Homo-oligomer: A and B are copies of this chain.
Amino acid sequence: MAATYTAVHPVRRPEGRPARDDFAFVTGTIPGLQDGQVLVENLLLSVDPYMREALEFEDWQEGFGMEGRTLGRVVASREPSLPVGAIVFHRHGWSTHAILGPRDTRRIVEPADGVPLSAYLGILGGTGLTAYVGLTRVAKLQPGEDLFVSAAAGAVGSAVGQIARVLGARRIVGSAGSAAKVDRLVQELGFDAAFDYHGGDLSKKLAEAAPDGVDVYFDNVGGDHLEAAIDGLREFGRIAWCGAIAQYDSLRTPPAAPRNLFDVVGKRIRLEGFLVRDHGDVRPEFEDFITPHLRSGAVRVDETVVDGFENIVDAFLGLLAGENTGKMLVRAGS
C-alpha cells in the first residue's frame, strides 16, 4: 500500500481557458485512519466541464485536491460498513487517494451484468442522470416529439440523444464541433441528423437538419445555439438548459443572449435552467430505467479514457478543447 498520495491543486485562477500552469501536482504522506474512516485508492476519475466554473470559486483548500466524481477501491478500513475491497463512488477526486467516511461515499454493491464499472461515472452516473432529468423532469419530452441537443458528442449530449431515443423521441438532431463527431453521432449513436456548428448560420443549419422544427431543445451551450433553437422550436416548445460549456471560459463577461428571446412569448416557449444536484431523488428511477437498455445495447457507454493519473490535467484541458467523444475519464488505479 502506498504511503504517499499525489493530488492536483489549482494554483492560479485561470484567465480565459485554463492552462497546465494553473495546476500543480503535489505529494504528501497519507495520514493514519481514525475510527469510521477508510482509505480509498482512486481507480477512475471523471473530468467535467463544471470544473472550469469551480476553478473560479474553489476554496484553494489544502489536502487531497479538487472536487471530482470518482470511483475507488477501499484499501484500508476502520469502518465496518466499508470493508477492504469495496468499490465506492465519491467526490474527492483529482487525487490518487482519499480518506473518507460512510457519508462521503456511495457503495456500488452490485455492478449490473454487462455494464462496465466506468458507466457509474457516465451514463449510469451524474451524466446520464443529467440527461434523464433534463428530458423527463424539465423538458417533459413526450413520445413522438422531436429534439435538438447541442454539444451532442459530449458526455451529456450523447446521453441525451440516446436516452431520448429510448424515451420514444421521433427526430433527434445534434450539433458538434467537428465533421468526425458529426459522422459519429449519425453512424454510431443513432442521431437522425447532425451538423458542425463551425461557420455559417446556426438557425439555417438547424432548419436544414430539422425542417419541421423541434419540440425540445436540450441546451449545453447557450449563446448562438440558444438563439438558433428559439428559431427552430415549435409553439409550446421547451428548453432544458443544463449548463454552458462554451461560457465557462468567460464567466466574467458572458456572451450575448439570444436576440430573438422575445419570441418565447409568441411561441409560448418554456426555458428552464436546472442543476442535476437538485434531482438526486430521481436516481433510483433512472437506474431502473437505463440498466436494461445498457444491457441490451440500445444505449451505449460512450467514453474516452485517458490512462494514468499524471495525465489528468491534460485530460481536463482536452475536454475543454473538445478532444473527447462522450464521457472523459482518467484511469488512475491498477
Contacts and interface: CB of A to CB of B under 8 A. Distances in A.
Contacts of A275: 265-266, 268
A257 B273 CA distance: 17
A259 interface: yes
A264 B272 CA distance: 7
Interface stretch (A16-24, A118-126, A239-247, A310-318): A239-247
A143 interface: no
Contacts of A262: 222, 244, 247, 254, 257
Q: Taking chain A's interface residues, is the majority helix, strand, or loop, or is none over half, making it mixed?
A: loop
B256 A241 contact: no
A75 B27 CA distance: 93
A259 B260 contact: no
A243 B267 CA distance: 11
A20 B267 CA distance: 31
Given A244-B265, A265-B274, A266-B273, 7 more contacts: A266-B275, A268-B275, A268-B278, A270-B270, A270-B273, A271-B271, A271-B272
Interface of A: 222, 226, 241-244, 247, 254, 256-275, 278
